[in-house]
Amino acid sequence: MRILWIYAHPERHSLNGTLLDAGLRTLDSLGHEHRVSDLYAMDWKAVVDPADFGGPGAEPTAPGRERLIVGAAQERAHGRGELSADIRAEQEKLAWADTVVFQFPLWWFGPPAILKGWFDRVLVQGFAFGLKDEAGTTLRYGDGGLAGKRALIVTSVGARESSFGPRGIHGPIDEVLFPLLHGTFWYTGMTPLAPFTVYGADRMTPAGARATTEALGDRLRGLADEEPLRYRHEQGGDYDADLVLRPDVAPGRSGVAAQRLDARDRVGAGH
């Protein structure tokens, strides 16, 4: 396997750093290739701006420049090979990988800005999405520029596990991470795996850290065969022309949980 590991933690000497080191050793022992993007160490630029797009538009304050339409500017620069070198390097790593690990502390129930900016800047139209098949259908949700790759979130939270459970105060972790799992991974064609969440990270004992490292190793050893989270394919027949679930699909259900392919099995469970 070829694994790209995106590490978005400001401190390498941390529980997350330990998990990264141990994870890479596990991948080595399995004979998998890996590359790491340590975003803080790379001083990764988080903010989309005209400097991303090369050419004349790279002068953000140039008088008389046309107004910036981000999606169009990204797509055009990508098509011309004019995206900035740091973006192209990440796209090259992504194209190389068959599996991507995104490791980050959960800040405000989402990725730190440095990682959010990685998605904003790297996953441009024409590369990650907005591609069409031979019939002219736009490939999205289950298909797209990154189809066939698997994506694993490794995240750490201070809270205890119960509070991220089905009826926990913070919301179920897979619903809190829906913008990544469904809106980013699945949208671009990547297959999302269940997040590997480290709970109580602030109060972790040495024994707890060893158990967590071991559990991550187990996940990595089973990576290729693991059953992923199953969302619905946009083109799979579940949606009408307005991109709404057809009445016979998960009847009476709504919300993000209804986008899970197993939603119909969970009615009894109260989802």
Asked if 239 is part of the footprint of a second copy (rule: CB under 8 A), the reply reads yes
In the complex with a second copy, the residue whose CB is nearer, 30 or 58, is 58
User: Is position 30 an interface residue for a second copy (rule: CB under 8 A)?
Assistant: no
Q: Three-state DSSP class for 20? A: helix
| Chosen residue from 104, 127, 178, 199 binding a second copy by CB under 8 A | 178
* Segment 200 to 219, residues that bind a second copy, using CB under 8 A: 202
Contact 139, 126 (CB under 8 A): no
Q: Is-contact 5 150, C-beta < 8 A?
A: no
Scanning the structure block, which residue is given the tokens 């900035």?
Answer: 84
Phi, psi of 83 (to 5 degrees): -60, 150
Among 75, 90, 143, 234, binds a second copy (CB under 8 A): 234
Interface positions, 71-130, toward a second copy (CB under 8 A): 71, 105, 107-114, 116-117, 119-120, 123
Q: Is 253 in the site for a second copy (CB under 8 A)?
A: yes
Give 60 or 79: the residue with its C-beta nearer to a second copy. 60
DSSP string, 91-141: HHHHHH-SEEEEEEE-BTTB--HHHHHHHHHHS-BTTTB--B-TTSPBP-S
Phi, psi of 101 (to 5 degrees): -105, 130
Give the binding range for a second copy (CB under 8 A) out of 25-33, 158-166, 190-198, 219-227: 158-166
Q: How crowded is residue 36: how many other Cβ atoms within 10 Å of its Cβ?
A: 18
Q: With contacts defined by CB under 8 A, how many residues of the chain interact with a second copy?
A: 72
Residues 34-53 that bind a second copy (CB under 8 A): 40, 46-50
Q: Is 184 in the site for a second copy (CB under 8 A)?
A: yes
